[in-house]
């Protein structure tokens, strides 16, 4: 069996075929949106897996000029010279699993946000109508996934429940959010920190006046907290549907990242020198007072 080379590990090939009723012609918007919706799902897998040091973007490597439309995307590192082959492979595997689950009528993975679910639904809706079939070649990191009319029709009904939360109105709450610091910068000309959270993806944390005074120097923030996990307290601004839009931070602290072992939890003096059996017997008899 041939082994996949390093460059193919970073590639995904997407092929889209037109429905016969459209004389083999693809609507341009259908074709492009189909590719974009797929990449939206793949980017959510990346948010759940990738670290800032191994972050990457999908770039167009090549595309066909005739039907069927074939697009080859390749993962290129955000940091020049970084090796993202393993990270891209892991993202491809997670994305392939998600598509296999959905096309089998199974629930979406936990890392898919409402935005990702919407992309899934739109992709399947086109596959049930204007697009005859869509195949995604993940190479060795997930194999081939094919979505045709029958597959799309089977998978679409499950998405009704995913959008019930759209009735959730915009709201503001007070609480804490934990995330990994990505960058210090500006949000609509206000000093802010961009963090990556496990539940909401990348979120801007707008700094309150006291925090601005303390951490106004971007260099200081980056040098002290870059890539570390932080806990922000303050106003949590949610968009319609429950998506966290931003945090208006009042306090920020670093999470204690120290490792805890079982030895750290053991108290050798807990039984006052008795073996466990004798200690329990004395405890039941009231002889420990």
Which string of DSSP letters, residue by residue, matches 206-274?
A: EEPHHHHHHH--HHHHHHHHTT-EEEEEEEEEE-TTS-EEEEEEEEEEE-------HHHH--TTTTTT-
Phi/psi at 61 (nearest 5 deg)?
Answer: -90, -45
pLDDT at residue 277 in the model: 59
CA angle 37, 103, 152 (to 5 degrees): 70
Distance between CA 60 and CA 71 in Å, rounded?
7
Query: Band of the pLDDT at 219, cuts 50, 70, 90?
Result: very low
pLDDT: which is higher, 139 or 214: 139
User: Would the pLDDT of 260 be above 50?
Assistant: no
Q: What angle do CA 207, 209, 215 make, to 5 degrees?
A: 60
Task: Quick: pLDDT tens for 101-151.
Answer: 888 888 888 778 777 888 999 999 998 887 888 999 998 878 899 999 899
Residue 271's pLDDT is what?
Answer: 62
pLDDT digits (tens, 9 = 90+) for 73-96: 999 998 888 888 988 998 999 999
> What residue has token string 């939206």?
40
The β-bridge relationship of strands 11-18 and 131-137 is antiparallel
Q: What are the φ/ψ torsions at residue 167 (nearest 5 degrees)?
A: -75, -10
108, 98 contact by CB (below 8 A)? yes
Of 110, 152, 16, nearest in space to 71 by CA: 16
pLDDT at 29 (0 to 100)? 82
| Fold of the domain spanning 171-254 | OB fold (Dihydrolipoamide Acetyltransferase, E2P) (2.40.50)
* Confidence tier at 266 by pLDDT (50, 70, 90): low
Q: How many residues does the chain have?
A: 289
6-53 pLDDT, tens digit per residue, is 678 899 999 998 876 656 567 788 888 999 999 999 988 888 776 777
Cβ atoms of residues 176 and 232 within 8 Å: yes
Q: What does the alpha-carbon distance between residue 128 and residue 130 come to, in Å, rounded to a whole number?
A: 7
Could you tell me what percent of the chain has a pLDDT over 70?
74
Query: What is the sign, positive or negative, of the torsion defined by CA atoms of 180, 195, 240, 39?
Result: negative
Cα–Cα distance measured from residue 117 to residue 40, given in angstroms and rounded to the nearest whole number:
10
Look at residue 135 in the predicted model and tell me its pLDDT. Answer: 95
For residue 272, pLDDT beyond 70:
no
User: What's the pLDDT tens digit per position in 144-193?
Assistant: 999 998 999 888 888 876 665 555 567 888 888 888 888 777 777 788 88
The pLDDT of residue 134 is 93
Cα–Cα dist 74/12, whole Å: 7
- The residues spanned by each domain of the chain are 6-166, 171-254
Query: Half-sphere exposure (CA, 13 Å, Cβ side) for 48?
Result: 20
**pLDDT of amino acid 81:** 87
59-69: average pLDDT = 84
pLDDT greater than 60 at residue 258: no
Instruction: Please write the tens of the pLDDT for every residue from 21-34.
Output: 656 567 788 888 99
| Residue 127 tokens, joined | 């596959």
Structure tokens of 2? 């041939």
Most confident of 211-215, 246-250, 268-272, 285-289: 246-250
Helical segments of the chain, H only: 6-9, 28-49, 85-103, 114-127, 149-155, 209-215, 218-225, 262-265, 276-285
Whether pTM > 0.85 for this model: the answer is no
Q: Which of 148-152, 216-220, 237-241, 252-256 has the highest mean pLDDT?
A: 148-152
Is 146 or 278 the better-scoring residue by pLDDT? Answer: 146
Identify the CA nearest to 49 among candidates 180, 243, 223: 180
């Amino acid at each position: 069996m041939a082994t996949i080379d390093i460059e193919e590990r970073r590639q995904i090939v997407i092929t889209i075929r037109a429905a016969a009723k459209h004389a083999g012609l693809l609507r341009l918007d259908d074709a492009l949106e189909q590719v974009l919706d797929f990449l939206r799902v793949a980017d959510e897998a990346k948010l759940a897996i990738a670290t800032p040091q191994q972050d990457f973007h999908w770039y167009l490597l090549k595309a066909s000029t005739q039907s069927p439309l074939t697009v080859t995307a390749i993962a290129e590192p955000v940091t020049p010279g970084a090796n993202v082959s393993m990270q891209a492979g892991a993202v491809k595997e997670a994305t392939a699993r998600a598509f296999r689950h959905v096309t089998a009528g199974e629930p979406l993975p936990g890392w898919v946000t409402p935005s990702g679910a919407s992309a899934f639904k739109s992709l399947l809706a086109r596959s049930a109508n204007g697009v005859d079939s869509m195949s995604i070649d993940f190479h060795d990191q997930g194999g081939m996934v094919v979505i045709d009319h029958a597959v799309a029709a089977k998978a679409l009904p499950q998405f009704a429940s995913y959008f019930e939360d759209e009735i959730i109105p915009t709201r503001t709450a007070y609480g804490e959010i934990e995330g990994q610091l990505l960058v210090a910068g500006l949000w609509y000309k206000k000093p802010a920190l961009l963090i990556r959270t496990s539940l909401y993806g990348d979120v801007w944390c707008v700094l309150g006046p006291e925090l601005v005074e303390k951490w106004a120097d971007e260099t200081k923030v980056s040098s002290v907290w870059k890539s570390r996990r932080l806990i922000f307290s303050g106003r949590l601004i949610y968009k319609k549907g429950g998506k966290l839009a931003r945090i208006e931070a009042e306090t920020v602290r670093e999470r204690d990242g120290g490792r805890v072992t079982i030895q750290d939890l053991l108290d050798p003096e807990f039984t006052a020198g008795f073996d466990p059996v004798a200690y329990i017997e004395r405890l039941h008899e009231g002889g420990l007072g």
